[in-house]
Amino acid sequence: MRRDVTLREVAQLAGVSSRTVSNVVNGYANVTEPTRARVMRAVEQLGYRPNVLARNLAQGRSGQIAVVVPYLDTPYFSELLQGIIRAARMQGYNVLIDQTDGDPDHERMLISHGRSRLLFDGVIFSPLGLDQQALADHDPSLPLVILGERVSQGTFDHIGIDDVAASRQATEHLLDLGRRRLAAIGDQPYPTGEAAQLRTRGFCEAHERRGVTVHEELVIATPRFNRVDGAGAMRHLLDLPDPPDAVFCYSDLVALGAMHVLAARGLRVPEDVAVIGYDDIEDGAYSNPPVSTISPDKEMIATTAVERVLLRIASRTPLPGRELRAPHRLVVRESTVGRGAASRAG
């Protein structure tokens, strides 16, 4: 059986002290980049794996991160969770997963003042039920990273994409195809509906840039970004005297629900109605037709969230909040441009 490599052996190979190796593998910032790189090369060469359990016990930590999301049945979150679990495992951490269903009391409890955190050392949190003020009132000693469309208020890290720019790009894609009566499905005009409101803002900005009128009656609010709500909104739109010729859906699930109704009504996508979604979930690439979408860099969001929460866990003092942007891209598929054009544009 192969014996475990010791920290001292890594230090000898890297030409540094054991304390420096410990600082590097524990994520402390007081190490120069050349030294950090030298230590990591030695770690990889020797196959060193830190004794995470012993380290956590010595530092009074659990070795676990809580990841809190509104819904586990949403493919976007399940795909994001896979990336978070992989990134945490690489750092020797386990992940505890909690579903809030958007319940503000449950969400508030998880980040409340004076909460005993025996089960986890930090939280990666995608809130739905809490507004900005409630998030700002979290326990300042809790290592907290927020995902989605929030502002850090200087006390936690926030990671997300530019929803306004992404939604504007999706809408401009439809307008550039010559569509002029565009619908939007997914608006949420209430305090905790920031994500939807930013997407509506991008939708409207795209119209303004192209000099096209926004048809207010075609902007449809939904309680969730799911198939059922997408289908219901699409039925409403098709029953209007002058239905849309294109639809921007605030998630791919909404798009799938909308396309189901379009097919049931005998309408063709995209010939009669073009459809674009958001999130780039795997199901969207295999629907009929495949869904054009906005693709956030989920892998970068996941790895950055883990890196930031571990830095906060390791820090002896609370760190200032940071606003971190992940990139996104427009993925053009058949639901907006048809089969031949999609193969050229994708």
Has residue 323 been placed in a domain? Answer: no
Domain count, the chain: 3
Compute the mean pLDDT over every residue in the chain, rounded to the nearest whole number: 88
One domain, residues 261 and 310: no
What is the rounded CA–CA span in Å between residue 129 and residue 107?
Answer: 7
- Distance CA(305)–CA(123), nearest Å, equals 10
Backbone region of residue 114 per phi and psi (left: phi > 0; alpha: psi in -120 to 50; beta: other values): left
Tell me the per-residue pLDDT of 297-328, one tens digit each, with 9 for 90 and over: 999 999 999 999 999 998 878 888 889 999 99
265 C-beta neighbours (distance < 10 Å), count? 14
- pLDDT surpassing 90 at residue 290: yes
Is residue 46 predicted with pLDDT exceeding 50?
yes
pLDDT digits (tens, 9 = 90+) for 67-120: 999 999 899 999 999 999 999 988 888 999 999 998 989 888 888 865 545 578
| pLDDT of 334 strictly over 80 | yes
Better pLDDT: 138 or 218: 218
Residue 81 sits in the same domain as residue 23: no
Domain match, 179 and 278 both: yes
Same domain, yes or no: 266 and 182: yes
Q: Tell me, yes or no, whether 2 lies in a domain.
A: no
* pLDDT at residue 52 in the model: 56
Summarize the confidence of residues 38-49 as an average pLDDT: 82
Highest mean pLDDT among 25-34, 70-79, 85-94, 229-238: 229-238
pLDDT at 1: 41
pLDDT tens digit sequence for 162-177: 999 999 999 999 999 9
pLDDT of residue 138: 79
What is the per-residue pLDDT for 346?
A: 44
Residue with the larger pLDDT of the pair 90 and 294:
294
Residue 24 pLDDT > 90, yes or no?
Answer: no
Residue 229 pLDDT grade (very low, low, confident, very high; cuts 50, 70, 90)? very high
Asked if residue 86 and residue 178 are part of one domain, the reply reads no
pLDDT-derived band at 44 (thresholds 50, 70, 90) equals: confident
Q: Which residues contact 145 (CB under 8 A, 6 or more apart)?
A: 122, 123, 124, 125, 156, 157, 158, 159, 305, 308, 309, 312
CATH code of residue 131: 3.40.50.2300
Q: Does residue 321 sit within a domain?
A: no
Does 320 fall in a domain? no
Check whether residue 133 and residue 175 sit in a common domain: no
The tally of CA atoms less than 13 A away on the side-chain side of residue 1 is 2
Instruction: Look up the domain containing 66 and give its range.
Output: 60-161+297-315
Are 253 and 308 contained in the same domain?
Answer: no
Q: Per-residue DSSP letters for 204-250?
A: HHHHHHHT----GGGEEE-SSSSHHHHHHHHHHHHTSSS--SEEEES
Domain assignment present for residue 322? The answer is no
